[in-house]
């Protein structure tokens, strides 16, 4: 896990530049800090892991590509599809698993210190980084 120091930029940051600075999928980078929240960018490819954030909602904005989020809800399991430019919020306490084709990129808002694999999760595969976010190296 990464320790958090608020990221306050005094100059604009290109999200394209931020995304070009790393290759790892499902390994979010912190691009800004707003109040008690991290603004993170991530590359996505393949399936993430089924997980739950017990105390926080999770906000997704698809910057490139397409994201599918499988949800296990009281009424049953369903999948939402988010094309480029779409937003979706997974409510706290909802078990979910994002999945995407290579080349998909995301912007996420999460409370600082939120673990990328949630509070409860299945076994984490090697291609998923269990992190609270990495500092951006540009």
Per-residue confidence band for 3, with pLDDT thresholds at 50, 70 and 90: very low
Taking the domains of the chain in order of start, what are their residue ranges?
25-135
The answer to whether residue 2 scores a pLDDT higher than 60 is no
Burial bucket for residue 137 (CB in 10 Å: 0-12, 13-18, 19+): exposed
Maximum average pLDDT range among 67-71, 121-125, 127-131, 134-138: 67-71
Q: Where are the alpha helices (DSSP H) in the chain?
A: 15-20
Pick the range with the lowest mean pLDDT from 11-25, 71-85, 88-102, 123-137.
Answer: 123-137
CATH code that applies to domain 25-135: 2.60.120.10
């Amino acid at each position: 896990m990464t320790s958090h120091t608020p990221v306050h930029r005094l100059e604009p940051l290109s999200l394209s530049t931020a995304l070009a600075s790393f290759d790892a999928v499902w390994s979010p980078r912190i691009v800004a800090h707003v109040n008690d929240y991290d603004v993170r960018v991530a590359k996505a490819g393949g399936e993430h892991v089924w997980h739950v954030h017990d105390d926080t909602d999770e906000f997704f904005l698809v910057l490139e590509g397409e994201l599918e989020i499988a949800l296990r809800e009281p009424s049953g399991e369903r999948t939402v599809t988010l094309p480029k430019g779409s937003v979706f919020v997974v409510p706290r306490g909802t078990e979910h698993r994002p999945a995407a084709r290579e080349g998909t990129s995301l912007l996420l808002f999460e409370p600082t210190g939120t673990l990328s694999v949630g509070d409860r999760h299945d076994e984490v595969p090697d291609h998923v980084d269990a992190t609270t976010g990495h500092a951006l190296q540009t």
